[in-house]
């Protein structure tokens, strides 16, 4: 899960990292109180999950009290790359003597964690990687999952951290690395990490992505998601053990298994349809999941037909049928449904459906073609 | 022949008393798999379907001589279950469980590098050597004996492919799902090499998906193979930056696109089918 900047900073602050004081606001009226608390000048920053906020006018420095509310209103009225700005972070501005890039990622290729550092902070790191690759330094964790101080010291010198700040920088870099590991993060990006005029290190912008699989032991992060979901439907789906991604088409898809679900989307498209979603009902069998999946798809007004594609393995077809019949009783299913069933307990499931006068295809292509034909 | 498992495989089930463990115990026995024991901490001494249950893997291996473990333990406890089998030098460990955090898998991967055991998965359907042994959750009736070896990152899509191939008369040697997570114990290249060396496998089917670069790496290996490989990539229409269910299936930072995988595989001489029916045709052409 992607955290908002204000959530990332809350987490960093709780872990003792140097951030400027600040708080999030959902309306312009809340902002003056925060400004009085932290003092001028402040930076108002739109909280949306896209890059290029600054260029879009979503980040503004305010130096006087009378400009606070109008500027906040302006930012809260913005839509940046299709996303309306609903919250803004009010933070104390800090002077900047030098900017660095600092990041830690889960490195899939190396099956380890990699720290990424650059003397060219504040700009898009992917641009730097393309145009000036030697400006980027990488340190990959060893077989024990460790990164050591001498490695960071070498990087600090190479990226131009002032010598008198080396020890402070190394301590901070390793503390951030530990936090990355301890909190089950897959990305921790600080851009820029700043040296102030007084010679202090401050984390000015922060981006965190967490490992969804570790949420069961990261209650504090799960709380962020509940409090401010990026997509409420996707979060709700997750609670029922469904993996759901909303798309723009009109063929609602309910499938077991991610690979088959993607292949189903691909096939819908191949036959001229547009999938309304990706929905994997997951590995283990459960009638309630199927019912919730139907509810979710029915709530999407763009959906014109519903395609259920099940190849039972660990998921048993009879559980799926029971869930579907349950939905039949409790929901108003007002759009055509096409079912394909194969695999574990297929015969039992067919019998159950036949009693309700519902037939199911055996082959995926047949069901997909029917679902796509509905206009 | 086939690879990794056969009639001499003696299976132990970790999590044998759970809903999924006990259900698939019965399905595996039905298939003819030699299930010799199970482990559920605190439930040792019982028997399920005539199979003895032990408290620890160590006891189970000592008593039964099990040489392969299959794990059905819930995600928070699955890393512990994998470690237990690795510490007891079980040669082949298959983890069905999905949802294991990356941090745990980084650590487990370090131990695997030290050698000894092979891990298949996690988040995989297991494997079947057709007509001999099934150590997994796939429905047994969809497989027919024949000359095709199948490797897949997916579960149910593997069933789809196997079942269509069987219908078309293209049976299989071994069918293996290697799992949809970013860190897995056994990769495409490992299995391609085994199929290359298996005398009964004539054609290899590789089912990949978006995310990571394992397919691209596999393409490099395919260039050196003598046997024909036919591929399928799912997620061609998936949007960037959205995780498609599998923890590994995400296009991020321009890496992991279907286009890049298709290009690499085609360049290596492995045609990539867009539909399962197309895949079946391509496989049949290569058998005949």
Q: What whole-number distance in Å separates Cα of residue B30 and Cα of residue A290? A: 28
Quick one: pLDDT at residue B209?
94
Which residue in chain A has the smallest CA separation from B242? A245
8 Å CB contact between A253 and A227? no
Determine whether the interchain pair A265/B137 forms a contact, defined as Cβ–Cβ distance below 8 Å.
no
Domain boundaries, chain B: 10-120, 138-287
Residue A272's contacts (CB-CB under 8 Å, 6 or more residues apart) are A372
Determine whether the interchain pair B106/A145 forms a contact, defined as Cβ–Cβ distance below 8 Å.
yes
Q: In a 3-state reduction of DSSP, which class is residue B164?
A: helix
CA distances, B31 to each of B67, B138, B141, B168 (Å): 18, 11, 9, 22
Region of B40 on the Ramachandran plot (φ > 0 left; ψ -120 to 50 alpha; else beta): beta
Nearest to B237 among A216, A269, A282 (CB): A269
Q: Is the pLDDT of residue B65 over 70?
A: yes
A342, A344, A305, A308: which is closest to A323 by C-alpha?
Answer: A308
A47, A19, A42: which is closest to A31 by C-alpha?
Answer: A42
Q: Is the pLDDT of residue B244 over 90?
A: no
Residue A216's contacts (CB-CB under 8 Å, 6 or more residues apart) are B75, B76
Q: pLDDT band for A285, please (50, 70, 90 cuts).
A: low
The DSSP result for B78-125, as a single string, is: HHHHHHHHHHTT-SEEEE------HHHHHHHHHHHHT-S-EEE-SS--
Averaged pLDDT for residues A96-103:
95
**Of A33-42, B126-135, B174-183, B244-253, minimum mean pLDDT range:** B244-253
Query: What is the least distance, in Å, from the CA of B62 to any CA of chain A?
Result: 29
8 Å CB contact between B211 and B253? no
Q: What whole-number distance in Å separates Cα of residue A264 and Cα of residue B157? A: 9
Quick one: pLDDT at residue A236?
82
B-chain residues near A245 (CB < 8 A): 239, 242-244
Residue recorded with tokens 């730097």? A128
Query: What is the least distance, in Å, from the CA of B166 to any CA of chain A?
Result: 13
Q: What whole-number distance in Å separates Cα of residue B230 and Cα of residue B149? A: 10
Averaged pLDDT for residues B52-59:
98
Averaged pLDDT for residues B160-176:
97
Phi then psi for A114, rounded to 5 degrees?
A: -125, 130
Quick one: pLDDT at residue A109?
86
Q: What whole-number distance in Å separates Cα of residue B21 and Cα of residue B24? A: 5
Q: Is the pLDDT of residue B124 over 90?
A: yes
Interface test with B, best of A185, A188, A263, A309 (most B CBs within 10 A): A263
8 Å CB contact between B79 and B49? no
* Domains present along chain A, CATH in parentheses: 21-92 (3.30.1490.20), 98-222 (3.30.470.20), 232-373 (3.40.50.261)
Model pLDDT for residues A206-235, shown as the tens digit of each residue? 999 999 899 999 998 888 887 777 777 887
Model pLDDT for residues A106-116, shown as the tens digit of each residue? 998 889 999 99
Determine whether the interchain pair A263/B107 forms a contact, defined as Cβ–Cβ distance below 8 Å.
no
Q: B103 exposed, middle or buried (CB, 10 Å; 0-12, 13-18, 19+)?
A: buried
8 Å CB contact between A233 and A279? no
Q: What whole-number distance in Å separates Cα of residue A73 and Cα of residue A8? A: 24
B10-120 with B138-287: one CATH topology?
yes
Nearest to A314 among B137, B153, B210 (CB): B137
Query: What is the least distance, in Å, from the CA of B82 to any CA of chain A?
Result: 17
Strand order through the sheet with A337-343: A243-246, A277-280, A251-255, A305-312, A337-343
Express as a percent the part of chain A with pLDDT over 70.
99
Query: What is the least distance, in Å, from the CA of B209 to any CA of chain A?
Result: 7
Q: What whole-number distance in Å separates Cα of residue B13 and Cα of residue A118? A: 49
Averaged pLDDT for residues A292-320:
92
| Helical packing angle, A258-270 and A364-373, nearest 10° | 50
Q: Is the pLDDT of residue A284 over 70?
A: no
Q: A206 exposed, middle or buried (CB, 10 Å; 0-12, 13-18, 19+)?
A: buried
B-chain residues near A262 (CB < 8 A): 157, 209-210, 234-235, 237-238, 244-245, 249
A117, A101, A110, A119: which is closest to A141 by C-alpha?
Answer: A110
Which residue in chain A has the smallest CA separation from B18? A284
What is residue A249's DSSP assignment? Answer: S
Q: pLDDT band for B255, please (50, 70, 90 cuts).
A: confident
Beta bridge partners of B150: B175, B205
B-chain residues near A261 (CB < 8 A): 244-245
Buried b (16+ CB within 10 A) or exposed e, A118-137: bbbbbeebeebeeeeeebbb
CA distances, B141 to each of A343, B158, B159, B204 (Å): 8, 13, 10, 21
CB atoms within 10 A of CB A77: 10
A-chain residues near B210 (CB < 8 A): 262
Beta bridge partners of A209: A2, A187
Nearest to B139 among A260, A267, A313 (CB): A313
B208, B140, B205: which is closest to B180 by C-alpha?
Answer: B208
8 Å CB contact between B82 and B110? no
Q: Is the pLDDT of residue A129 over 90?
A: no
Angle at the Cα of A70 from the Cα atoms of A65 and A75, rounded to 5 degrees: 120
Determine whether the interchain pair A143/B103 forms a contact, defined as Cβ–Cβ distance below 8 Å.
no
Q: Which residue has the higher pLDDT, A287 or B161?
A: B161
On the CB side of B47, CA atoms within 13 Å amount to 6
Determine whether the interchain pair A258/B209 forms a contact, defined as Cβ–Cβ distance below 8 Å.
yes
Determine whether the interchain pair A260/B154 forms a contact, defined as Cβ–Cβ distance below 8 Å.
yes
Catalytic residue among A189, A225, A234, A346: A189
Q: What whole-number distance in Å separates Cα of residue A40 and Cα of residue B53? A: 68
Residue recorded with tokens 């641009």? A127
**Of A73-82, A236-245, B181-190, minimum mean pLDDT range:** A236-245
Percentage helix, strand, coil, to 5, in chain B? 35, 25, 40
Q: Is residue B207 within a helix (H) or strand (E), and if so which, with residue range? A: strand B203-209
Beta bridge partners of A117: A102, A137
**Of A7-11, A52-56, A88-92, A160-164, minimum mean pLDDT range:** A52-56
Q: How many A-B residue pairs are in contact by the CB < 8 A criterion?
A: 166
A227, A155, A239, A233: which is closest to A11 by C-alpha?
Answer: A227
Q: Which ipTM did the prediction report?
A: 0.90
CA distances, A100 to each of A105, A119, A267, B108 (Å): 17, 5, 46, 34
Quick one: pLDDT at residue B153?
94
Nearest to B242 among A111, A245, A315 (CB): A245
A257, A181, A153, A277: which is closest to B159 by C-alpha?
Answer: A257
Interface test with A, best of B103, B121, B243, B255 (most A CBs within 10 A): B103
CATH 3.40.50.261 is the classification of domain B138-287: yes
Q: Is residue A209 within a helix (H) or strand (E), and if so which, with residue range? A: strand A206-210
A-chain residues near B80 (CB < 8 A): none
The CATH topology of domain B10-120 is: Rossmann fold (3.40.50)
Region of A335 on the Ramachandran plot (φ > 0 left; ψ -120 to 50 alpha; else beta): beta
The token duo for B112 is 């695997």
Nearest to B163 among A106, A143, A342 (CB): A342
B206, B212, B140, B220: which is closest to B178 by C-alpha?
Answer: B206
Interface test with B, best of A145, A282, A313 (most B CBs within 10 A): A313
Which residue in chain A has the smallest CA separation from B123? A283
| Helical packing angle, B102-113 and B78-87, nearest 10° | 10
Average pLDDT, chain A: 92
Q: What whole-number distance in Å separates Cα of residue A21 and Cα of residue A34? A: 10
Beta bridge partners of B54: B39
Average pLDDT, chain B: 95
């Amino acid at each position: 899960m992607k955290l908002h900047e204000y959530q990332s900073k809350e987490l960093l602050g709780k872990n003792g990292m140097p951030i400027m004081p600040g708080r999030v606001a959902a309306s312009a009226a809340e902002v003056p109180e925060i400004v009085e608390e932290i003092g001028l000048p402040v930076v108002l920053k739109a909280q949306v999950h896209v890059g290029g906020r600054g260029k879009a006018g979503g980040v503004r420095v305010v130096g006087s009290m009378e400009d606070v509310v109008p500027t906040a209103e302006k930012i809260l009225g913005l839509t940046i790359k299709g996303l309306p700005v609903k919250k803004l972070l009010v933070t104390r501005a800090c002077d900047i003597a030098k900017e660095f890039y600092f990041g830690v990622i889960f490195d899939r290729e190396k099956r380890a964690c990699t720290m990424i550092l650059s003397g060219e902070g504040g700009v898009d790191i992917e641009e730097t990687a393309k145009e000036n690759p030697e400006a980027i330094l990488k340190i990959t964790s060893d077989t024990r999952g460790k990164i050591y101080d001498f490695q960071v010291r070498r990087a600090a010198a190479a990226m131009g951290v002032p010598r008198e700040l080396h020890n402070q920088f190394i301590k901070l870099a390793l503390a951030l690395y530990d936090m990355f590991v301890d909190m089950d993060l897959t990305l921790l990006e600080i851009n820029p990490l700043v040296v102030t005029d007084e010679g202090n290190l401050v984390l000015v912008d922060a981006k965190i992505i967490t490992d969804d699989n570790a949420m069961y032991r990261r209650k504090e992060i799960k709380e962020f998601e509940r409090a401010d979901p990026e997509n409420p439907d996707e979060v709700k789906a997750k609670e029922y053990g469904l993996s759901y991604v909303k798309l723009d088409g009109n063929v609602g898809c309910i499938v077991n298994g991610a690979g088959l679900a993607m292949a189903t989307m691909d096939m819908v498209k191949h036959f001229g349809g547009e999938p309304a979603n990706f929905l994997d009902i997951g590995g283990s069998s459960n009638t309630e999941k199927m019912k919730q999946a139907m509810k979710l798809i029915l709530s999407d007004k763009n959906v014109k037909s519903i395609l259920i594609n099940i190849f039972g393995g660990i998921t048993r077809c009879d559980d799926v049928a029971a869930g579907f019949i349950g939905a039949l009783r409790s929901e108003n299913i007002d759009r055509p449904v096409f079912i394909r069933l194969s695999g574990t307990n297929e015969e039992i499931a067919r019998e159950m459906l036949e009693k309700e006068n519902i037939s199911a295809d055996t082959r995926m292509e047949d069901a997909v073609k029917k679902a796509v034909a509905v206009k | 022949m086939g690879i990794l498992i056969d009639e001499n495989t003696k299976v132990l089930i970790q999590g044998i008393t759970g809903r999924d463990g006990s259900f698939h115990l019965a399905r595996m026995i039905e298939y003819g798999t030699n299930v010799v024991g199970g482990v559920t901490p605190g439930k040792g001494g019982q028997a399920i379907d005539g199979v003895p249950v032990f408290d620890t893997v160590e006891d189970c291996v000592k008593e039964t001589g099990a040489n392969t473990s299959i794990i059905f333990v819930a995600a928070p406890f699955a890393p512990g279950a994998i470690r237990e089998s690795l510490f007891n030098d079980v040669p082949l460990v298959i983890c069905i469980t999905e949802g294991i955090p990356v941090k745990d898998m980084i650590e487990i991967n370090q131990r695997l590098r030290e050698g000894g055991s092979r891990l298949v998965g996690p988040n995989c359907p297991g494997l079947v050597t057709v007509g001999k042994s099934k150590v997994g959750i796939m429905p047994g009736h969809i497989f027919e004996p024949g000359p095709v070896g199948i490797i897949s990152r997916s579960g149910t899509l593997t069933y789809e492919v196997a079942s269509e191939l069987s219908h078309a008369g293209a049976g299989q040697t071994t069918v293996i799902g290697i799992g949809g997570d970013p860190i897995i114990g056994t990769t495409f290249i490992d299995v391609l090499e085994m199929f290359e060396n298996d005398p009964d496998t004539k054609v290899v089917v590789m089912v990949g998906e978006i995310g990571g670069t394992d397919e691209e790496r596999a393409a490099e290996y395919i260039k050196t193979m003598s046997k024909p490989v036919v591929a399928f990539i799912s997620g061609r229409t998936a949007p960037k930056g959205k995780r498609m269910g599998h923890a590994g299936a995400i296009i991020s930072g321009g890496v992991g696109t279907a286009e890049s995988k298709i290009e690499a595989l085609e360049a290596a001489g492995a045609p990539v089918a867009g539909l399962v029916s197309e895949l079946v045709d391509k496989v049949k052409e290569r058998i005949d």
